[in-house]
């Protein structure tokens, strides 16, 4: 009987540890951090896995939101990684978040050594700041809004005369 008790205790303990871990693991902040890590690994398909099938990606500079994981992977994540193959997207300061939303300031940097929206690479260094507002549901990003200084980015993407 003593042995059964011991087994039960271990099972209960591992269950508590496991559920605690998976819960912490799927917190919106951790989802966003893993998503950013995939961007920084320059892996568009991996980053896209953090998006819900019907995710909406809103880029304030573009104006029109992009709907759906596949489109976001190709037209946003993939396009950025192609244009700035060494991109670095990092959180600046402390994020503000609750059970389903994460908002944070960021800095995006790298070198425009790839084609950007049909324009040849300028090889210019780019560095701009912005804010992202992200909704997460069940470990998947359902909505992302990026707000940044697009004028500065446009300047940085101009070919050097």
Mean pLDDT of 78-105: 96
First-to-last alpha carbon distance for the chain, in angstroms, is: 83
How many other β-carbons are positioned within 10 Å of the β-carbon of residue 154? 11
What pLDDT score was predicted for residue 108? 96
Contacts of 108 (CB under 8 A, 6+ apart): 87, 88, 89, 126, 127, 128, 129, 130, 148
Pick 68 or 61 by higher pLDDT: 68
Digit-coded pLDDT (tens) for 17-34: 444 444 445 699 999 999
| pLDDT value for 25 | 54
**Phi, psi (deg, nearest 5) at residue 52:** -70, 155
Cα separation, 48 vs 53, in Å, equals: 9
Q: Per-residue pLDDT averaged across 57-85, rounded?
A: 94
Confidence label for 61 from pLDDT (cuts 50, 70 and 90): confident
pLDDT of residue 38 exceeding 90: yes
Question: Over the stretch 44-54, which tens digit does the pLDDT of each residue have?
Answer: 999 999 999 99
Asked if residue 122 has pLDDT above 50, the reply is yes
pLDDT at 21: 45
Nearest to 112 by CA among 77, 87, 88: 87
The single residue listed with the structure tokens 């591992």 is: 14
Name which of 126, 142, 149 is nearest 59 in CA terms: 149
Note the pLDDT of residue 27. 92
pLDDT tops 60 at residue 76: yes
């Amino acid at each position: 009987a003593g042995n059964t008790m011991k087994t039960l205790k271990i099972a209960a303990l591992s269950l508590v540890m496991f559920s605690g871990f998976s819960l912490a693991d799927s917190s919106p902040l951790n989802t966003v951090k893993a998503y950013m890590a995939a961007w920084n690994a320059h892996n568009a398909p991996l980053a896209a896995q953090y998006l819900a099938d019907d995710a909406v990606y809103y880029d304030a500079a573009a104006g029109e939101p992009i709907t759906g994981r596949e489109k976001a992977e190709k037209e946003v994540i993939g396009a950025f990684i192609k244009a700035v193959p060494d991109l670095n997207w990092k959180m600046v300061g402390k994020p503000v978040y609750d059970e389903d939303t994460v908002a944070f300031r960021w800095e995006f940097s790298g070198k425009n050594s790839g084609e950007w929206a049909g324009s040849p690479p300028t090889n210019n260094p780019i560095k701009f700041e912005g804010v992202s507002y992200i909704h997460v549901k069940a470990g998947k990003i359902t909505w992302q809004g990026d707000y940044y200084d697009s004028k500065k980015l446009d300047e940085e993407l101009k070919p050097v005369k």
